[in-house]
């Protein structure tokens, strides 16, 4: 004999409890309120987000000037910055500045070895 015989009663009790819990878990997973479809208009176009009053994309609200947002963008230095600021408030079309981020980097094939071929 390899050892004392272990009673299987606790295992049976665990299996019965698990079987009793399955319907409760299914009900709780599927018994909630159904989701709702947002009541908005798709405002994403081929040119990006087109700001509109009932659009699905949210924008910031300028408390000082909710109609035009110019008061919140007055401290911007260039027209490009003003346009971007107004777009973020949903008061202007998307700026056409893709690929012209704030930092620029260039690749160079120069070498610090002092040789002409970089070697």
DSSP string, 92-115: SPPPS-TT--SS--------SS--
Q: How confident is the model at residue 4 (pLDDT cuts 50, 70, 90)?
A: low
**Residue 50 CB contacts under 8 Å (≥ 6 apart), including other chains:** 43, 44, 93, 94
pLDDT band at 106 (very low <50, low <70, confident <90, very high): very low
Give pLDDT tens digits for 43-91: 888 777 776 778 887 778 888 888 888 999 999 999 999 988 988 888 8
Provide the pLDDT for residue 103.
47
Question: pTM of the full predicted structure?
Answer: 0.40
Whether the pLDDT of residue 15 is over 50: the answer is: yes
Print burial letters for 48-82: b (CB count within 10 Å at least 16), e (below 16). Answer: ebbbeeebeeebeebeeeeeebeebbeeeeeeeeb
Contacts of 60 (CB under 8 A, 6+ apart): 88, 89, 90
Tokens matching residue 105: 């980097």
């Amino acid at each position: 004999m390899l050892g004392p015989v272990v009673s299987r009663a606790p295992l049976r009790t665990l299996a019965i409890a698990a079987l009793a819990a399955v319907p409760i878990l299914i009900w709780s997973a599927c018994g909630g309120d159904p989701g709702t479809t947002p009541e908005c208009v798709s405002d994403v176009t081929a040119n990006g987000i087109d700001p509109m009053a009932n659009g699905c994309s949210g924008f910031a609200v300028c408390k000082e000037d909710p109609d035009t947002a110019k008061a919140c963008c007055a401290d911007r230095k260039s027209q490009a910055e003003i346009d971007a600021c107004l777009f973020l408030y949903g008061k202007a079309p998307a700026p056409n500045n893709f690929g012209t981020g704030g930092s620029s980097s260039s690749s160079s094939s120069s070498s610090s070895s002092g040789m002409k071929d970089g070697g």
